[in-house]
Amino acid sequence: MAYVTEQSSRPFRLRMLIYDTRYRSLTIQICALAGLMLVIAWLISNTAQNLALLGKPVNFGFLSQPASYDINQSFIEYSSRSSHLRASVIGLMNTLLVAFLGCLLATAIGLVIGVLRLSRNWIVARLMTIYIEGFRNVPVLLWIVFYMAIIIEVLPSPREFRGDSPEASMLLWDSVAITNRGVYVPEPLFSNGLGDVSVFGIFAISLDLIAFLVVLGAGIYASQRVARWAGKVQESTGVRPATWHYSTALIVVPPVALLLALGFHPGFPELKGFNFQGGINMRNSLIALWLALACYTGAFIAEIVRAGIQSVSKGQSEAASSLGLRPTLSMRLVILPQALRVIIPPLISQYLNLTKNSSLAIAIGYMDVTGTLGGITLNQTGRELECILLLIVCFLCISLTVSAVLNWYNNLVKLKER
């Protein structure tokens, strides 16, 4: 006997939208969505109307006007005659720089502190607890200001390096100067460099840097091929050939040869006039912001790392050692891969937090994107709505990119269930 599904023979009626359970939920959702969109439309039109009443219609034309202010840290060419757009881009680059440096250092701090907190040594474990609780429980803004104050008050000013018997002196054979305005380190200079290449006529990239990175990348790739070859030999003969000298040579020799060919020599900072000239200046505001963000976020990451390691059951490491794996190998091959799948997801949000917290930079005068676009540009042009909207878009893009990259990585390391 064939079972026929009962088809609704009744024609569709309007009231079925409410009384028929098949349609009801859809109706409610559509109504709610329409209501929400109406509210948003009202808000937008209200904002636009109010701004028009104030005589300030939304207009992004100011971005092409000359910024008229100077920025003390920029990776691409900038002068006070450059546009507000360019100033914003420079701010964005400064934000990315401090976020990148901060994430690196925070991860390193977090790993070390997190592992040490599990130490069997009572003092070490307690010290790490103090570190974590200390940094986690004080607002990061206070840490930023505190680090800045320490740098300004404790470190010597450039003037103290002057004279026959100066109060302060440079470190490492006169190559590094640590002052309260920043840390000056030697910069790489090339006496027969390749010059710069202009990208769309907007900014210039050093060809020397590109060449160096290409050669280094090629070396690393070649050494990986060598390692693969060694693996094949090991599989067929059971004996792994020694490859460390090949890999080292492949990674080290070509870049060094390139540097020699380009006439590499370090440019040392030198006290000239009011400040040190030459070298790379890591500004006090960058250092304070970087350290504060990294130490603060590092405390959170340490807890994440500890939780990740503790989440792997003890049986796993016991099983690994019963298989004959040494502790380092069992950490690398057994514990860490399982810990990572616990560590990565909360780590993503810590990286995002760090990036967003970097907008506190203006408290110590670091010219990040909130300092240029959301600070001086906003203030000098009076375009609050436009600037804030652009800022939101900027941070949204950064955050979504970071989380996309890390989600991709998370997919790589997460437990593969078969």
Partner 1 sequence: MKRLYLLAAAAALGLSTGGAGAATLDDVMAKGHLQCGVNTGLVGFAAPDENGVWEGFDVAYCRALAAAIFGDPMAVKFTPVTGKTRFTALASGEIDVLSRNTTWTFSRDVDLKQTFVGINYYDGQGFMAKKSLGVGSATELNGASVCIQTGTTTELNLADYFRSNGMEYDPIPIETNAEAKELFFADACDVYTTDRSGLAATRASHEDPDSLVVLPEIISKEPLGPLVSHGDDQWADIARWVLNALISAEELGVTADNAMEMAAGTNNPEINRMLGSEGNFGEMIGLSADWAVHAIMARGNYAEIFERNIGVNTPIGLERGANAIWSDGGLVYSPPFR
Binding site for partner 1 (CB under 8 A): 36-37, 39-40, 43-44, 46-47, 50, 53-56, 68-72, 79-81, 149, 152-153, 157-159, 180-181, 272-275, 277, 284, 362-363, 365, 367, 371, 375-376, 379-382, 384-385, 388-389, 392
Select 270 or 318, whichever has its Cβ closest to partner 1: 270
Look up tokens 């560590």; give the residue.
343
Between the two ends of the chain, the Cα-to-Cα distance in Å is 41
Closest CA to 19 of 6, 28, 29: 28
Decide if 345 contacts 410 (C-beta within 8 A): yes
The rounded radius of gyration (Å) of the Cα atoms in the chain is: 29
C-beta of 261 vs 397, nearer to partner 1: 397
The C-alpha atoms of residue 190 and residue 211 are separated, in whole angstroms, by: 12
> Please, which residue, 156 or 337, has the CB nearer to partner 1?
156
Based on CB atoms, which residue is closest to partner 1, 151 or 309?
Answer: 151
Query: Which CB atom, from 84 or from 117, has the smaller least distance to partner 1?
Result: 84
CB of 409 to partner 1, least distance (A): 24
Residues 6 or more apart whose Cβ sits within 8 Å of residue 263: 190, 191, 192, 193
Q: Which amino acid is at 260?
A: L
Residue 266 C-beta: closest distance to partner 1, Å: 22
- Cα(341)–Cα(406) distance, rounded to whole angstroms? 12
The counts of H helices and E strands in the chain are 14, 9
Cβ–Cβ under 8 Å, residues 230 and 243? yes
Return d(Cα 371, Cα 198) in angstroms, integer: 27
Spatial CB neighbours of 270, under 8 Å, sequence gap ≥ 6: 276, 277, 278, 279
CB of 359 vs partner 1, minimal distance in Å: 14
**Cα–Cα dist 322/319, whole Å:** 5
**24 or 272, CB closer to partner 1?**
272
CB of 163 to partner 1, least distance (A): 12
Rank residues 281 and 355 by Cβ distance to partner 1 and give the closer one.
Answer: 281
- Alpha-carbon distances, residue 52 vs 40, 145, 383, 384, 415 (angstroms): 18, 40, 13, 14, 55
Residue with tokens 């160096």, as numbered in its chain: 212
Q: Nearer to partner 1 by C-beta: 67 or 293? A: 67
**179: β partners:** 182
Report in angstroms how near the CB of residue 384 gets to partner 1 at its nearest: 6
**CA neighbours within 13 Å on the CB side: how many for 45?**
6
Q: In the complex with partner 1, which residue's Cβ is closer, 357 or 372?
A: 372
